[in-house]
């Protein structure tokens, strides 16, 4: 019986939050599409042209075309660029249950911003 009580006490301490991961941060590098500010007019013109070329008689809603054209513009005109992402654990036990992005930093300098 004494061993059972000791085992229950150890288990209670283990799951009581001693291993709480909230507040822990992590960083990693992610290759993501990045459009420099200098390309915003070109991307905007691409989106407008794409929407103008969309078939107005199709069953697609206009807001679906806007999103599809924006994604296509970014994939066509922007480059995959490494970014350092920092995240903080919002809640969890021994492992984090939910991460929140804290910052995203471009790892290469833009032309003209050196």
More confident residue, 80 or 92: 80
Question: How high is the pLDDT of residue 4?
Answer: 53
Tell whether the torsion through CA atoms of 49, 55, 57 and 60 is positive or negative: negative
Residue with tokens 């994939």: 75
Q: Nearest 5°: phi and psi at 74? A: -65, -40
Would you kindly state where each structural domain of the chain is located, as residue ranges? 19-34+81-114, 36-77
| Whole-structure pTM value | 0.57
- The better pLDDT of the pair 82, 51 is held by 82
Query: pLDDT: is 20 or 33 the higher one?
Result: 33
Most confident of 1-15, 18-32, 74-88: 74-88
């Amino acid at each position: 019986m004494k061993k059972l009580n000791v085992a229950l006490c150890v288990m209670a301490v283990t799951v009581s939050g001693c291993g709480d991961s909230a507040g822990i941060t992590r960083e990693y590098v992610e290759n993501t599409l990045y459009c420099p500010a200098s390309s915003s007019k070109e991307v905007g013109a691409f989106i407008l042209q794409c929407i103008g070329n969309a078939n107005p008689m199709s069953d697609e809603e206009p807001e679906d075309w806007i999103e599809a054209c924006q994604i296509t513009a970014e994939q066509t005109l922007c480059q995959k660029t490494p970014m350092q992402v920092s995240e903080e654990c919002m809640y969890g036990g021994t492992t984090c249950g939910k991460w929140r992005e804290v910052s995203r930093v471009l790892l290469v300098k833009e032309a003209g911003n050196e």
